[in-house]
A and B are shown apart, each in its own frame.
Chain A
Amino acid sequence: MLAPISFSMQSLNIETIAPILVTIAGGLFILIMDLFKKDLNKSLYVVISLLFLLMSFGFLIDLSVFFAANGTFTGFFNLVVVDGISLISQFIIVGASMLFVPLALSSKRFHEFSYPEFFALFLFMIAGFQIMVSTDNLILIFLGLESASLALYTLIALHNRSKSFEAAVKYFTMGALAAGLYVFGAMVLYAITGSVEIHQIASILVANHYINLAYVLIGIVFLFAALAFKVAIIPFHTWAPDVYEGASASMAGYMSIVPKIAGFVVMMRLFEFLVHSGLPWIEVILYASVVITMTASNIWALVQTDVKRMLAYSSISHAGFVLSAILIGTTQANTALFLYWILFTFTNLGAFSMLWISRQKNLDKWKSSDHPYEKFSGMIHTSPVAAVIMGIFMLSLAGVPPFALFWGKMYMISSAVTSGFTVLAVIMVLNSAIAAFYYLKLIVYMFMKEPVSNVHGRIYTMNTSKALSTVIGVAAIVTIFAIIVINPLLEIITSFVYNSGF
């Protein structure tokens, strides 16, 4: 008979997953509530979700304080890691989710928000992403990834129109393939090193001087492909435009931020030792990925006719831009990644929210796509404030100072410059220039064209409500006055990233 295993509750460090537990609890709470009382208004669920997210946020702050004092710590048999990057990325995930949830309170009714399950799934999804970033165990990453993804597919489909089903099915199928690739990659690495924890894999590989390099690279390739799918790196990006188009604008905005940051954090953990391994192959592959992703998606974004689809391609481009941080791999670059992503969160979520509030249900003119450029023609005359705000988001995305994203871009380019990636820096700025064109296209439509006849300015804010306005207001204010928060952000992120050894 086996001896019973015993370990103290203390040793588990249960607080390490406290923020995650809270979100899961939130999801369960909503499900249970629904059991007792049906047909509750969505606003209630929004508030409950917000409250749980807020609690999660509070726990995160608590953990951060602890981290700032004591450095990285782990829980559950070293499975759950609380380090700087997991904390920052969880802040981003939870924060972006808090910005997203109020978008459910649109004045028009859409199908997904009529489900309490929507909010439950949403909270489970957040938990999944939180798990994903706070571990370096490939199994746990996989589980977090899958549970989040499964929830996400459902959330997309719940929008309940054929485009969203199509989007969900496409995303799902490709996600399944990516899952296969991921586990295969994990298998290869496991075969070589006998471990599925990244830091152990790293130390074993380094100890063996990367013997059997080809195996290692194969494993890396499979993992990279799976993660690249998640963050939409070309050629694994093909889901992104269709899914963004099929999903509701609010969901698309959310997708452009949260799943990607989770993916980036995993990539960061995985590639942290590889880019410092001195293997030129890694550098070349990442370099090529960065350049191709930025450039090709920019070029495709140029020719889009639908704003949301354009923003989808632009999100791919931004992801490519940020991937360069992984390539550079210095503390400054990793800091820049998070800084960029925080600023990107506000700007991009703002932009998608603007699309969301202009969502029409049944306008004959624009049946085929929700947000064609023509719809925004002459917006400055009919709905000036909305046009100005949208314009600011576009400028920020294009990287025009003093708006938020410029500072992220600047810091990212600086990190490239500092580490000797001069050509990369130049490519990055040239791509920013290309990107400016399509952002400008929307500005041109909004500010320089004549309004479409028979269109009332109301259509641009048809779907708005106080909650949505608040979200947009917050996003706009942060976008405009980002400069004030950059310094504290930068200091915190730098110290967090540096203290977790990235």
Chain B
Amino acid sequence: MEFYLYVALFAPLVGSLFSALFTAKKANKITGYVASFLLFVSFVASGILLYDVWHGGSVHVHLMTWINTGGLYIPFGFIVDNISVTMMMVVTTVSMLVHIYSIGYMDHDEGFNRFFSYLSAFVFSMMILVMSDNFAGLFIGWEGVGLCSWLLIGFWYHKESASWAANEAFIMNRIADVGMLIGIFMIYYTTGSLQYDKVFAALPSASPYVVTLIGSLLFIGAMGKSAQFPLHTWLADAMEGPTPVSALIHAATMVTAGVFLIIRSHALYQMIPNVGEFIASLGAFVAIFAASMALVNRDIKRIVAYSTLSQLGYMFVAAGLGAYWIALFHLVAHAFFKSLLFLGAGNVMHAMDDELDPFKMGGLGKKMKWTLILMVIASMALAGLVPFAGFFSKDPIIEASFVSHHYIIYATIWITAGLTAFYSFRMIGLVFFGEERYKIFGFHPHEAYRFMLLAMAPLGILSIIIGFFRTPFYNFITNILPSTIYEVHPEALAWGMNIATQALVVLFIWYPWQKYAKFKGADKVFEQHFIYKLLFNQYYIPNFYNKCIVVPYTRVSNFFWMSIDLKIVDATVDLIANTLYKTGKKTRYVQDGNLSSMLKWMVFGLVFLLLMAVAYGLAFEYPSKIAEILLNLGVH
């Protein structure tokens, strides 16, 4: 099985390097094909591993030693167990499809080869992240995906906004990584190892305080990668990257790494339920917070991005409440339907020459039937309609929060479920139905390439059917994850709740459908409303960050440089030199070249020495008398 592990891991790297060879060359489809094929290989290998693990196997390899010094031992070790193989499947599947899709999407881009190089590199990093058997390896992948995310967000580097967003994403992730790194230090410090198995074996004997601290610190890392509040702003801005990137990285895989981390460390988080509650609360907050912003947004990709954020919130709710398997399951399902949604949005963008404002579209459904269908499937899955994926993955979270008596969380995410439906179908309505507003702007939309749609198709299918695999998945995953089942009792209540949720969802699908599918013009009154502005401006958080962090940071930096470094530290040094030099300049005319004054200097020196000599001589000779005189003068 080791062989398959290495194939799964390194095939993307090979693809990346292969594409990298052509980066300076003209766009060449070969790179796309090769990279996609290698991803397929990786997918197959992952599948084989899944088969193996499904049957109770588990692969744990040790490739080589990475760092070994002074009692610290970190190998390149990889583990394929139930959790990682699940993630591998998700990653390889979505990546493979996105790769294929990208061949079409990036068709006319001159950075075609470069794109595939980055994309495959991302997959490789993600594979390391999920397969590593220790925290250091995890961190390698963690940073690796961050790097690739930076590269891909800033892929169109000529756009100021793109490069800005790339840097923002990277730096914000870095801030979170500080927590992560400290957490890793803390783990090493506490347990003396970074291997998962050893760490989790040793942690129970550590003090609860330390464990809490470690849990919190790791979660800070997770917050960054999964864009949880308050580090969420980068995700929306990251939509500057090519759409397949958004689909792969900012929906399906990378952003879920935070959730993966929590799931991976479930042994740790089980020990600290209070941190878990915090995670869940934050998740719930982010869920509704992001959904609210999605309600009014005028950028289809950003809407999807906020929805991703919201869904991540759900996952954290589940993970925080200890329902790890549910979190993981939602992660899987979400990966499929959300990437589908993004790819659909990509199709729309392609058709509209990169126009993103849904208010400039409308009626695209006629020209882009397949896209419409796929998007609707994805949106339904997202909204959690029966029998789409979302229903099987998201509703259990709501139930779990109810069952564990977190009613506020429950209420929050229940409402969020409605909002989810609202913004999804607002977008569908605005984009695909109603008047063909795009004509005013002179667009000529067209359906995407056939194979792009074909690449999306599996995702569509999965979005529909994945929900039915919940039970097998449960059986499979609970081999290592805690097998808590959250069932609402009595059964009637469970049914009632389900129906209520469905009703809510349907209501919130119907309302925007009503409103936006026949959209005529913007609701000016509403747009002037405070809440609209608040939501539209993302609660003014980016502004806040800009004003309270970016600008002050720049100012303080300038201050440090201009006022402290140059004017104090450096000036002090120069001052010493200048003082010496100026003293020299001022006193050099002591030597005025006149013989008389030269002689006077000599005599002056002599007299001065004489004074000293006499004073000392007398003091030496008549100490008692001098003491007496001094006493009379009042000196003691």
Contacts and interface: CB of A to CB of B under 8 A. Distances in A.
Contact of A235 (B585, B605, B621): B605
B602 A178 contact: yes
Interface residues of B, number: 30
A218 B602 contact: no
A315 to B, nearest CB: 14
A303 B591 CA distance: 13
A210 to B, nearest CB: 8
B494 interface: no
Nearest to A212: B621
A169 B595 contact: yes
A183 interface: no
A217 B613 contact: yes
Given A218-B610, A225-B609, A238-B591, A213 B621 contact: yes
A214 B606 contact: no
A76 interface: no
Given A173-B595, A217-B616, A225 B606 contact: yes
B581 A302 contact: yes
A373 B614 CA distance: 46
Contacts of A221: 606, 609-610, 612-613
A267 interface: no
Contact of B618 (A173, A214, A234): A214
Given A214-B621, A217-B617, A303-B581, A235 B602 contact: yes
B541 interface: no
Nearest to B609: A221
B591 A224 contact: no
B584 A300 contact: yes
Contacts of B610: 218, 221
- Chain A's interface size range is 35 or more
Given A218-B613, A235-B605, A303 B585 contact: yes
Contacts of A299: 580-581, 583-584, 587
Given A213-B621, A302-B580, A238 B609 contact: no
Contact of B598 (A174, A216, A228, A234): A174
A489 interface: no
Contacts of A214: 613-614, 616-618, 620-621
Contact of B599 (A174, A213, A241): A174
A340 interface: no
B636 interface: no
A236 B584 contact: no
B601 interface: yes
A66 interface: no
A146 interface: no
A482 interface: no
Contact of B616 (A212, A225, A241, A281): A281
A369 B585 CA distance: 19
Contact of B595 (A170, A216, A284, A300): A170
A104 interface: no
B595 A236 contact: no
A236 B602 contact: yes
A285 interface: yes
For chain B, what secondary structure do more than half of its interface residues adopt (helix, strand, loop), or is it mixed? helix
A212 to B, nearest CB: 7
B588 interface: yes
B66 interface: no
Interface in A189-224: 212-218, 220-222, 224
A124 to B, nearest CB: 26
Contact of B605 (A236, A284, A300, A302): A236
A436 B587 CA distance: 20
Contacts of A281: 612-613, 616
A213 B623 CA distance: 13
A437 B610 CA distance: 35
A238 B600 CA distance: 10
A296 B584 CA distance: 8
A181 interface: yes
Given A299-B580, A300-B587, A303-B584, A213 B617 contact: yes
A216 B599 CA distance: 24
A214 B618 CA distance: 6
A117 interface: no
A238 B588 contact: no
Given A173-B599, A213-B617, A285 B612 contact: yes
Contacts of B71: none
A434 interface: yes
A185 to B, nearest CB: 10
Contacts of B593: 242
Contacts of B621: 212-214
A181 B581 CA distance: 34
A238 B606 contact: no
Interface in B87-106: none
B604 interface: yes
Contacts of B616: 213-214, 217, 281
A22 B617 CA distance: 45
Contacts of B587: 296, 299-300
Nearest to A185: B606
A177 interface: yes
Interface in B387-444: none
A229 interface: yes
A176 to B, nearest CB: 10
B605 A225 contact: yes
A271 B604 CA distance: 22
A69 B588 CA distance: 51
Which of B580, B613, B620 has the most CB atoms of chain A within a 10 A radius of its CB? B613
Which of A169, A224, A235 has the most CB atoms of chain B within a 10 A radius of its CB? A235
Contacts of A285: 609, 612
B606 A300 contact: no
Interface in B563-618: 577, 580-581, 583-585, 587-588, 591, 593, 595, 597-599, 601-606, 609-610, 612-614, 616-618
Nearest to B596: A173
A257 B605 CA distance: 23
A285 B581 CA distance: 26
A300 B580 contact: no
Nearest to A301: B584
A228 B587 CA distance: 21
Interface string A162-193: 00000001100110011001000000000000
A19 B616 CA distance: 43
Which of A174, A218, A221, A301 has the most CB atoms of chain B within a 10 A radius of its CB? A221
B599 A177 contact: yes
Which of B583, B591, B610 has the most CB atoms of chain A within a 10 A radius of its CB? B591
Nearest to B618: A214
Interface string A229-257: 10000111011011000000000000000
Contacts of A235: 601-602, 604-605
A300 B613 contact: no
A168 B557 CA distance: 62
A302 to B, nearest CB: 5
A368 to B, nearest CB: 13
A221 B620 CA distance: 16
Contacts of A437: 577
A216 B621 CA distance: 12
Nearest to A217: B613
A347 B602 CA distance: 29
Which of B577, B595, B602, B618 has the most CB atoms of chain A within a 10 A radius of its CB? B602
A178 B605 CA distance: 12
Contact of A225 (B583, B602, B620): B602
Contact of B601 (A173, A217, A238): A238
A225 B609 CA distance: 9
Which of B577, B598, B606 has the most CB atoms of chain A within a 10 A radius of its CB? B606
Interface of A: 169-170, 173-174, 177-178, 181, 212-218, 220-222, 224-225, 228-229, 234-236, 238-239, 241-242, 281, 284-285, 296, 299-303, 434, 437
13 contacts: A173-B595, A174-B602, A178-B602, A181-B606, A218-B617, A221-B609, A225-B609, A238-B602, A241-B591, A242-B591, A281-B616, A303-B581, A437-B577
